[in-house]
Structure 1
Amino acid sequence: MKAGELITFGNYEWRVLDVQSDRVLLITEDMIGQHPYHNKAGNVTWKDCELRSYLNTEFYKTFSEEDRKRIITVINKNPNNEWYDSNGGEDSKDKIFLLSIEEVACKYFGDSSTLLYNPGKNQKYWFQRKDENNSNRRSKFGGYGWWWWLRSPGRDNKRAVYIWGDGNIGIQGNGTYKYSSNTIHPITKDNSGGIRPALWIKR
Structure 2
Amino acid sequence: SKEYGKWIMIDTGGDSNDQTKATYYYVKNNVPMSALEIHNAWINQDFDQVGIQPEQAAKRFENDVISRAQLFERFCIHLRNDELRTLSPGEPEHGLGSYHYDGYLWWKDGHTLPHPWFSKHSGREGDFYWTLNHVGIYLSRSNHPEMLNVDLSTQMPNIKGYLVQMDGNDWISTPNHFNWKLRLGENQLQVKTVNKLGREGKGNYLAIECR
TM-score, L = length of structure 2: 0.25
Q: Which has the higher contact order (CA 8 A, sep 6+)?
A: 1
Structure that is richer in helix per residue: 1
Give the TM-score, by structure 1 length.
Answer: 0.25
Larger Rg: 2
